[in-house]
Structure 1
Amino acid sequence: MRSKAPVQTYSGRVPSTNILTLSCPDRPGLVYAVTRWIAEAGGNILDSQQFSDTSDDEFFLRVHFTVLGSVPAAELSDRFAPLAAEHRMAYRLVVAETPVRTLVMVSKEGHCLNDLLYRQSTGALNIEIPAIVSNHPDLARLAAAYDVPFHHVPVVDKADAEARMLALVDELDVDLVVLARYMQILSDDTCRRLEGRAINIHHSFLPSFKGARPYQQAHDRGVKLIGATAHYVTAALDEGPIIDQGVLRVDHRMTAADLARVGRDVESQTLSRAVQLHAESRVLMNGPRTVVFA
């Protein structure tokens, strides 16, 4: 039996809308069943996207809708449960306007962190950053500029450092963890605990150029394209389900330093796009892959 995820709530003044995402075994009549339920609940569909994966007969759906009378999301979720059980649906119903509470982890490079902070501060990303965790003190001033609490957690003992991070996840009611160039490998246990809610950015099209000095490796190989990959974190290093990828064409005139400079822009933009997609409930897990409703 598939279980439903916790429901987010929204306490703002602007009338809220809801997003329902689900996956289940494919069969005729699923769209009709869901849209009929929304109509009977007094709902009005603003946007709907669906996908049937014929390779494993799995169905995916994302519906953005309003309900007359502003029925609480928790109540709507309870009402939907019988239909979900009938069709073996794994589902999630959230309020679209609720910012996703996001813990950002970083080491010394601040380009991805700075991009996330700026986009969040301007309202371009529907996230709220209650804290930043770093194994180095270098980016404390950047965090302070955005008035975000900065936690310096040196990795002397990995288990202790991860325990402190996970304690913050619980204490701050964090929904998403973003590794914004956090140069530490998380343990298998931590990866499992954060499954589906931790995003990492990798400095290439996976699995190319792993390890240290990736842009020097790219330069040495004479690459003509550089890229970045944002993916969910799993115990298999840099092999989690891919959310988004970015690419930029380069040529022989560029030095390794040039590649690193333009690569930072690709990394920042790709990570922010992935965070935005996740925050808008546009990413559904499909085994080792993802379904991304753009």
Structure 2
Amino acid sequence: MSREYTEITVIGEDDTGLIARVTTLLFERDINIEDLDQAVRDGVFRMTMSVDTSGMTCTEAELREALDELGDDLGVEVQVRFPADRETQTIAVLVTKESHCLEALFEAWADGELGAEISVIIGNHDDLEPLADHYGVDFHDVGDEKGSPDEERLLEVLDDYDTDLIVLARYMRILSPNVVFRYEDRIINIHPSLLPAFPGAEAYRQAREEGVRIGGVTAHYVTTDLDQGPIITQRAFNVPAKADVEEIERRGQPLEAEALLEAVRLHLDNAVHVYHGRTEYRDDVDPEDYQLGLPESFEERQPDRPVDGLGGVVSRSADGE
């Protein structure tokens, strides 16, 4: 979907007539709907639209006001993001206690590699506040003494900082549909396994118990289905025969940071989009500029035969030739 389209998101309690009321308002202002998707989860309704506002018969301010009034009337929240709103992108990083992924993001940001602003760090514990302070970035602790986050406060902070992208840098909590629906295809998580293998908690321990020889990590977009969102990047590593969980984790953590950073770069560069539940390069992207999986040098070590049908010997013998 082109970045020149305006994005409209509607969130609220499910009710009849929501879609018709919103689409009618747009039609009356000569706004063409290019794409529409809607879903309901746990009683929360979400509709996202990409619309062409280039020929609309009202100003941006008038459209915002009309949608705000309609949202108040329907009891839903309506978010509008015009193309110009997305020129300077802001990142909110959600963390718990592990620092390695946050450090990688900070280092890339400090080196000017992101092309976006890390505007806020949000934790469900305050362990990483000193790291945020070191880089001069605001830190907000939204967790209680057990680390359970206050999602209403979380949403307030995300809104206060006009967040474009949420990065879960080893944030050890599941986001509810109330959060995910508001930032669909704008939340990136890093998971310590080669998804879809070993979703959920303690993935490295799961890998050890199953005796895998190749471990890995996955950066993916977050959906309301745990660890099942569209995969963006993956990295793999060997697991020695006698490796314990701690050794597997030591091998995985640097790759977690690398895969997450590459996924963030792909998103910020608008190099990938989600199509039918999977990420694809956009047509104008040079794949050599990015690394989705293993490096190209790995291909040189892969055996290239035997492959079915190459020799033709079996088929000729079967025909009696």
Report if TM-score (shorter chain) is over 0.5: yes
CA drift of 1:115 comes to 0.6
Do residues 176 (structure 1) and 165 (structure 2) align? yes
- Structure 2 distance, partners of 1:290, 1:212, is 24
State the distance in 2 between where 1:95 and 1:282 align.
Answer: 19
Larger Rg: 2
Partner residue, 1:186: 175
CA positional deviation for 1:95: 10
Q: Counterpart in 1 of 2:15?
A: none
CA distance in 1, matches of 2:255, 2:106: 16
- Alignment correspondent of 2:231: 242
The CA deviation at 1:183 is 0.6
Give RMSD over aligned pairs.
3.2
Instruction: Say if 2:243 is the partner of 1:254.
Output: yes
Contact 1:129/1:148 (<8 A) preserved: yes
Could you tell me which residue of structure 2 aligns to residue 222 of structure 1? 211
- Contact persistence 1:223–1:251 (CA under 8 A): no
Alignment deviations for residues 34-57 of structure 1 (CA, whole Å, 9 cap, x no partner): xxxxxxxxxxxxxxxxxxxxxxxx
Query: Deviation string for 1:176-198 (max 9, x for gaps)?
Result: 00111111111112111110111
Does 2:54 correspond to 1:78?
yes
User: Matches of 2:265 and 2:278 in 1, distance apart?
Assistant: 18
The residue identity in structure 2 corresponding to 1:181 is R
In the TM superposition, what whole-angstrom CA distance separates every residue of 1:140-162 from its partner, at most 9, and x where no partner exists?
Answer: 11111111111111157999711
The alignment partner of 1:102 has SS state of strand
Greater relative contact order, per chain length (Cα 8 Å cut-off, separation 6+): 1
Q: Whole-Å Cα distance in 2 between the matches of residues 196 and 135 of structure 1?
A: 22
C-alpha separation between the residues in 2 aligned to 1:226 and 1:125?
A: 28
TM-score normalised per structure 2: 0.61
Structure 1 residue 4 and structure 2 residue 15: aligned?
no
User: 3-state DSSP class of the match of 2:94?
Assistant: strand
Q: Which runs of 5+ in 2 are unaligned?
A: 8-33, 36-52, 56-81, 288-321
TM-score (norm 1): 0.66
Identity of aligned pairs, percent?
40
The equivalent of 1:233 in structure 2 is: 222
Aligned residues: 217
Structure 1 segments of 4 or more deviating over 6 A?
Answer: 156-160
Residues 190, 219 of structure 2: 8 Å contact kept:
yes
